[in-house]
Amino acid sequence: MHETSGTVIPAEKVTLQQKELWLKIEEFLGKKLIALEELLQDFTASDVAAMQEMMDHMIGNRGKRLRPILLFLCGSFNPDAVDDYVLLRAAAAVELIHSASLIHDDIIDGAEERRGKPALNVLWGNRPAVLAGDFLFARSFELVASCGNFELIKVLTRTVSIMCEGEIEQGGHVFNLHLTEQQYLHNIYRKTAALMEACCSAGASLAGLADDAVLLFKAYGRHLGLAFQITDDVLDITGKSSLIGKPVRSDLREGIITLPLIYLLEDPVWGSHLREVIEKRDFSSIALSFLDYPDCINGPVRRALARAAAYIDEAKACLSGLGNVLPVEILKNLADFVLEREY
Ligand code: FPP
Ligand code: MG
């Protein structure tokens, strides 16, 4: 068994390449990742038992720590200029922002599961869960403030406001059968890619890199984030809930029209079938079983994954001038992981 996303992934599902990637990350960032866990524990401590229990549930049930890893990696290109204390605090802050956003997202979506465990809103109810998200959000900005870096505060606060706009915008698109690919892409930039973009640009800025280099890392993060959300949306249709740690096909049930669904709606035969299911709001397993037919789903899924692959190529191209050093190799491998992941 292998633990990466909080769900326990059967060992046979973790490819050799993925094992090698996590080993490389440990080799390069080992001490920083241990310090990160300690800081996350410190900054989620509460004297109020129920809050502490919710924090343990959320932070203990760990994800891949992808966002702090991105910040550390992009912050590693100029070690003499970096203040490790600030880098570590910024890395912990982005993980707390991410966790806060997932708690609030699960309340908004009425989600039941997160990372293979019941969502916070299920175990404690919506009111305590809202406050747990607010608590994490506040603690993340206590961390950011302690860095004493106005630019970092500006980038992260602006990013959170963009994420909120993304969630509102997504709510406005619910069951919109006319959602365009362009509208979808704008939305996933706001809700997902903006934070990855901010992690990469913040890391590069904290390392004192020149503006044009910061912009390249920022673009890497943006493209990675767009590809990440597209693969997430594909996994919602084709994935296994035991691997992704949440029920499959919940996007459709919630009316979230994702890229593979936009493409499926364009299909002359299956498109009208999907339209009918959505219009009737019949999301029973039987009604959705057509999504299992290879004839129906393979085309839209392949097309969506090709879109994600194009973003991954663009992400990797941003790193082309940086030579063959280990952090570049890891950033490129992470990009491949985003495309190939099953969890
Ligand atoms: C998951 O998307 C959710 C997000 C990527 C962002 C959620 C953002 C907010 C709630 C606003 C920011 C709030 C704070 C407090 C920072 P998804 O529903 O597509 O993915 P899922 O299937 O994993 O839930
Ligand atoms: Mg959600």
| pTM of the predicted structure, to 2 decimals | 0.94
Q: Is the CB of 37 under 6 A from ligand 1?
A: no
- Ligand 2 centroid from CA 108, angstroms: 8
Which ligand 1 atom sits nearest the alpha carbon of residue 134? 15
Q: Residue 10 has what pLDDT?
A: 52
Q: Residue 11 has what pLDDT?
A: 59
* pLDDT tier, 245 (very low <50, low <70, confident <90, very high otherwise): confident
- Ligand 1 centroid from CA 161, angstroms: 12
Tell the residue nearest (CA) to atom 14 of ligand 1. Answer: 101
The gap from C-alpha 101 to its chain's centroid, in whole angstroms, comes to 10
Q: Residue 244 has what pLDDT?
A: 81
* Section 260-273 average pLDDT: 95
For residue 131, what are the CA distances in angstroms to 134, 221, 252?
Answer: 5, 29, 28
Calculate helix-pair angle for 84-109, 16-42, nearest 10 degrees. 100
Q: Is the CB of 164 under 6 A from ligand 1?
A: yes
- Ligand 1 centroid from CA 320, angstroms: 31
**Residue 34 predicted with pLDDT over 90:** yes
Residues whose beta carbons lie less than 5 angstroms from ion ligand 2:
105, 109
Give, as one character, the DSSP assignment of residue 113: E
- Ligand 2 centroid from CA 199, angstroms: 21
For residue 246, what are the CA distances in angstroms to 99, 120, 223, 259, 303?
Answer: 16, 13, 24, 19, 24
- Ligand number, closest to the Cα atom of 198: 1
- Ligand number, closest to the Cα atom of 169: 1
Q: Is the CB of 83 under 6 A from ligand 1?
A: no
